[in-house]
Structure formats: structure tokens, C-alpha cells
Amino acid sequence: MAREIQKVGVVGLGTMGAGIAQVCIQAGVETVGREVTPELGEAARGKIAHFLGRAVEKGRLSQEDGDAALARLKLTTELADLADCDLVVEAAFEDLTIKHELFRELSEVVGEDAILATNTSALSVTEIASAAAPPERVVGMHFFNPAPLMPLVEIVRAQQTDEAVVDAAYAFAQRLGKEPVRCNDTPGFIVNRILIPLLNDCVRVLDEAGVSPEDIDRAMRFGAGWPMGPCTLVDLVGLDVHVHASEALWQGLREPRMAPPARIVAMEKAGHLGRKSGRGFYEYQ
Ligand code: 3HC
């Protein structure tokens, strides 16, 4: 297992999947992105083209390199088109049933020594791996939002993961120019285990201390050196993703700080999901 990675598949081209595909093509890796409809695939390609275009405008990337990167991205709606991928990164909805189905199908489609990775942020990699054959080829590769800008990738070792697969995923993340860190498959892995309760505390402080989202964001930027304030960050991550991750941590560890605050649960129910829906703590165009 764990052959050289020349071609990568990315399943699901939402915010994270599109970002991961962008990182791969910019690192010179042939990439096949799979979405459920051609329109969703094209929308992701459009977003990637936009960010590459911005980098060209700012002089951080040559037009030639930008064009070459974009040409490395192929789109498909068929999982069968991932047959010759050496690594597939799944970045679909955070739903165990969907992921089980994908990992079952992918196991049949890809070569026997291909690696299957999941970008899950809140589900158990061990549970996801249980649907794959063999489960030893499954590893967590948890990128951070926005994937093209955030250096960290958590390389998550499930109960079943072959250590050679962990090493191959780690080496590949390095090849992408990322800063990988190995960890076990525990709720929230490393960063979310710490960050999610902290963001929940920030949201609770809004009401407790009678502070506005603008002021709590300024407080954490100017008092704690955060690159962006907690409300801006929750809007970036997405209220739905944050609530799901909070609930998963709460289910797994039962620490009250992990339970999502009522305020963001209500926002999620109202469809105020942050940047992606145009409204969260802030409004976006
Ligand atoms: N994809 C690709 N390129 C992007 C991008 C994206 N999503 N977003 C922005 N860019 C590019 C743009 O071209 C932008 O330039 P432009 O605005 O002129 O077009 C360029 O990057 C740089 O943007 P900024 O000047 O706004 O960069 P900043 O210096 O402000 O840094 C940041 C942005 C890196 C996002 C910084 O604010 C930061 O580190 N924020 C914290 C983010 C964070 O904590 N993420 C983790 C969330 S938790 C998580 O993801 C886990 C999950 O499981 C929930």
C-alpha cells in the first residue's frame, strides 16, 4: 500500500473541497474533482479560477502558472472517473451515511493500493473507515478553512490505519507545501478540540457581557492577537459546520462548553449560516 501519489481525486467541491483541489493543482498535481452535478463542479472551478486570478493580479503567481494549474483540474460527476487516482480526498457533507456510501463505492473503484482520505472535521475517521475495503487504507486529512491559505493539515490515524498510509499522507501534505501534524482519531482531533469550545465561549460572552459582535471581534484581535475575530471566524467556517462540530464534540466528550450556544443554534435554524448564505453575525454581498 501507499504508492507514489501522482493523481488525486477530490470528492465534493464545496468550500473545503474546492480549496483542497486548488492546493493540489497549484502544487503541480493532476486532480479530478467530483461533484454531483456539472453545475456545482463548474461553480467550484469558477471560484478556483477567481482566486488564481487574484493571485496573478497581485503578482504572486504568473499568468502562465495560473493557467497551467487550472488545466490540471478535471471535473466529473462519476466516481468511476477516479479509478486511476493514487489518493482520493473526500470532502462531502458531514453525514456518516453519505460518507459510508462513498467509501464503499470508492473502495471498489480505485486501485488496491490507493489511499482514501477524509477531510471530516467532526466525524470519527475510524467509523468512516469501517465502510472501506480494506479499512487500513483510510486516513484523515483535515484541512483548515480557507484551505489555500491555512498551512495546517491534521493527519488523523484511525484505529485501522496502516502506519505507511499515515506516513504517505503526511509526506503528501508536505509536498503540497502544508504543515502536517499527526494525531489520533479523537473528537475534534487537535485544533477543533480547542477552538470550538473557545468560539462557543466567545459567543456566550456576547450575551453575558453585553458586547456586540464587532466589539468582541475587535477585543480578540487587539487583545489576543487573533488574525480575525471569533464572530468573523464562525461566519467563515459556517454556522452549520460549527454547530455540527460542536454537537459532535459534546456527544463525544460531554463538556458543557462544547455544546453549541442557543444563539448560534437559532441563527442556524433561521438559515443565517455566515458568509455562504450572505448573513451570519454580519451581512455579506
Ligand atoms: N481560497 C483561496 N484564496 C483565498 C481565499 C479562499 N477561500 N480567501 C481569500 N483568498 C485569497 C484572496 O485572493 C485574498 O486576496 P483578495 O481579498 O485581494 O482577493 C488573499 O487570499 C489574502 O486574503 P487576505 O488579505 O484577506 O488575507 P489575510 O492576511 O487577512 O488572512 C486569513 C486571511 C489567512 C484567512 C486570516 O484571516 C486567518 O488566518 N484567519 C483565521 C482562519 C482560521 O482560523 N481558520 C480555521 C477555521 S477552523 C477550521 O477550518 C476547521 C473546520 O473543521 C471547522
Structural domains of the chain sorted by starting position, each given as residue range(s) with its CATH number in brackets:
7-184 (3.40.50.720), 192-269 (1.10.1040.10)
Interatomic CA distance for residues 52 and 89, integer angstroms: 21
Q: Which regions in the chain score pLDDT beneath 50?
A: none
Please give all residues whose beta carbon lies within 6 A of any atom in ligand 1, as ranges. Answer: 19, 51, 54, 121, 144-146, 148-150, 192, 195, 227-228, 233, 237, 241, 245
Do you know the residue count of the chain?
285
**Which candidate in 119, 121, 200, 246 is catalytic?**
121
Mind listing the pLDDT tens digit for each residue in 166-214? 999 999 999 999 999 999 999 999 999 999 999 999 999 999 999 999 9
DSSP string covering 102-145, please?
HHHHHHHHS-TT-EEEE--SSS-HHHHHTTSSSGGGEEEEEE-S
Return the pLDDT at 194.
97
**210 burial type by CB count under 10 A (0-12 exposed, 13-18 middle, 19+ buried):** exposed
CB atoms within 10 A of CB 133: 14
Return the pLDDT at 268.
97
pLDDT > 90 fraction of the chain, expressed in percent and rounded:
98
Mind listing the pLDDT tens digit for each residue in 16-29? 999 999 999 999 99
The letter for the amino acid at 218 is: R
Q: Is 200 a catalytic residue?
A: no
Tell me, in angstroms, the distance from the centre of ligand 1 to residue 149's CA.
5
Q: Is 136 a catalytic residue?
A: no
Is the peptide bond prior to 151 cis by the omega test (within 30 degrees of 0)? Answer: no
Interatomic CA distance for residues 24 and 173, integer angstroms: 9
CB atoms within 10 A of CB 145: 16
Cβ partners under 8 Å of residue 122, min gap 6: 94, 187, 188, 192, 244, 245, 247, 248, 249
For the CA of 18, the nearest atom of ligand 1: 1
